[in-house]
Structure 1
């Protein structure tokens, strides 16, 4: 048992577990467990320690170990690089993601697109939010990356096909028998080819035109930077896919889950709309703490590593795979108290822990676009939530193995009818 001090509960209104995307039966204990040779790490201090051990671990998530086998050239993708090369790449691109740069270069675009999309929802009276947020997040991230020489709607569709992965159903299916099994096998093969087709279309229709345009006239964006670094077209493609996952797919999901929370809690929504920007960001950070889009991170040790948390001591051998549970670390009761799974924007945190905790990662591979994602979400939601909105029914949550993230779909919004679906009130879900 750890000897860490537990903070006192800070939630003014107890309302039980407020997470909407936690897989059923997912446990936060024990803090460290070895299963089939993999080290499962769930406690906040130990997850943080592993992520900060840059000289003792390397990236093993996002199919990194498989991807490295096929990589050639002098410029490994930043997601898969480690050590001095990774630090060099991160330092070179940091200028695109500073709060000052994000506000100066992209805020006007965020506000313009948010105004257009919210007005369209108001006029139509109904919307499926994940479709709206896909276009919004793709257009903002495209400006940062430099993918601005193709049709945004088309690029959105291509990226969605790529990240959706194979579409498979239950064995046999409704038809049953050999015919049903044959159909399912065909569906599995076609599903496995869909990301390949989507990747090729993304390369030809989105990445290649951007590269051509920036060879002629460089801009202040990631593609122009990669060309200046001497990257090949293939290396630029891989980096564009990486930024698409980080800046488009994940932000889209967070916007959907944030609106879910804010629409089901009148008091929280009113507090959010009345607050200044720092307080609004604080609310969004707390939602993200509870609902990290990427729930697991993976590292492999390059040397023996000792994990220590109070009286706990674990000796991890070289070559071991570590599965880091972001969701459990973010709701670690030893770190946050018994109300760790409640939504409390004013909660106290251990020293040195950011309000979103591990949701953007930590250490060398911490997501550089954290501020961009929060500002992008805030600009859109503070406009959207001024409409009299309701959810027609509970959204649907599924999981994407490619990026170890959740998907929130069927977020159907209705404007001003007074008949929408609601979760039980906070009082009825109190412990």
Structure 2
């Protein structure tokens, strides 16, 4: 049996068969079939992140995370420029200053709680890109975290398997933090950008004619996505590097291109978001290994990112081992499906990888010692893992 270096292993999560149907639900664990589904632009719609329960028609601009069609494509094309590699490099100096400041504060205390530090770090950088710069970063971080205090649900069930009481709690736990986020973070940023537009996402949205509610919804999307996924990735990358002396030495001695390749392999192995969901709106023909299937309209497709990222037919031998620089087929990104594919591919990959590299290249030379290992848990809103309580002595 292959030795696995994967740390985010969810109990009971199957890795086979490669394509499986359970009633109206399809489980896709093959990279070939997964990409066919995610690229079926005109035959699917977003079903993850409770997208199908978000009311339609109330917003002039539907949220980019959960919209589909030409409007979504246009939105995404315009916003993508804020996350292009050449653009995010402009934030390198700010990342360096922020990382040094937070690590110096932690060193003064002797102990660094890495998951708390990375929360402040990722929120501060994301806030700069988005334009949420008129409020306290620590307080905004607490408000963003509070969005995820939601009752569990099962996306394969009617009404997500929630009771009326659970839906009421979900509404309360969602709307109250959003109201606080608007009043404390978004409203002051809007006032500033209306007077003095900047080169950030909020200024762009205002120029596109977004109203206050539309801007708020997009800020929630970018704020939580930029904070949550990058935060967990940095902690996971540090966890791997601190337990692998050879890999850590290689990382610290490498030029940036090789360091980014190492980080890309870590996040291939440990994708933060483990499942992507699509609802078929038309027939989708999928193939894998010479077999063919047809997904019918109305069926739910569960793309298992963790399984597809470890598909030996795509990533080669030892798919569950951390092998930076592994050979991949033409057209397959080093992170495979970690940042998605097709119309909803996440544009934030360059920003997330660069943020991680800047912080880790400042943390690791301080020779941190692990005081307590992180606790691993799961959040089914984003179908991802979280790591808490990772304490390091500096």
Same fold (TM over 0.5): yes
CA drift at 1:51? 0.9
Match in the other structure for 1:90: 76
Match in the other structure for 1:315: 294
Number of matched pairs: 383
Task: Map residues 175-190 of structure 1 onto 2, 5 A cutoff.
Answer: none
Q: Deviations over 1:347-400 (max 9, x none)?
A: 111221011000000111110010000001000001000112122232111111
Task: Map residues 6-405 of structure 1 onto 2, 5 A cutoff.
Answer: 16-67=3-54, 69-104=55-90, 106-166=91-151, 193-405=172-384
Q: Using the alignment, how far apart are the partners of 2:106 and 2:77 within structure 1? A: 40
CA drift at 1:163? 2.1
| Contact 2:283–2:296 (8 Å) recurs in 1 | yes
SS of the aligned residue for 1:163 comes to coil
Q: Using the alignment, how far apart are the partners of 1:271 and 1:32 within structure 2? A: 38
CA drift at 1:165? 3.0
Q: Report which of the two structures shows the higher radius of gyration computed on alpha carbons.
A: 1
Q: Using the alignment, how far apart are the partners of 1:302 and 1:156 within structure 2? A: 37
Q: Using the alignment, how far apart are the partners of 1:125 and 1:259 within structure 2? A: 18
Higher mean C-alpha displacement, 73-82 vs 382-391:
73-82
Q: Deviating runs (4+, > 6 A) in structure 1? A: 186-192
| Contact 2:374–2:389 (8 Å) recurs in 1 | yes
Q: Using the alignment, how far apart are the partners of 1:27 and 1:80 within structure 2? A: 27
CA RMSD of aligned residues (A): 2.0
Instruction: Name structure 1 gaps, 5 residues minimum.
Output: 1-13, 168-185, 416-431
Instruction: Name structure 2 gaps, 5 residues minimum.
Output: 153-164
- Relative to structure 1, the CA distance from residue 238 to residue 351 in structure 2 (aligned partners, 3 Å threshold; closer, same or farther) is same
SS of the aligned residue for 2:197 comes to coil
SS of the aligned residue for 1:386 comes to helix
CA drift at 1:57? 1.1
- Relative to structure 1, the CA distance from residue 166 to residue 392 in structure 2 (aligned partners, 3 Å threshold; closer, same or farther) is farther
SS of the aligned residue for 1:245 comes to helix
CA drift at 1:190? 6.6
| Contact 1:28–1:332 (8 Å) recurs in 2 | no
| Contact 1:165–1:400 (8 Å) recurs in 2 | no
Q: Using the alignment, how far apart are the partners of 2:60 and 2:390 within structure 1? A: 43
SS of the aligned residue for 1:399 comes to strand
SS of the aligned residue for 1:203 comes to helix
Q: Using the alignment, how far apart are the partners of 1:256 and 1:166 within structure 2? A: 25
CA drift at 1:337? 3.5
CA drift at 1:22? 1.5
CA drift at 1:279? 0.3
CA drift at 1:274? 0.4
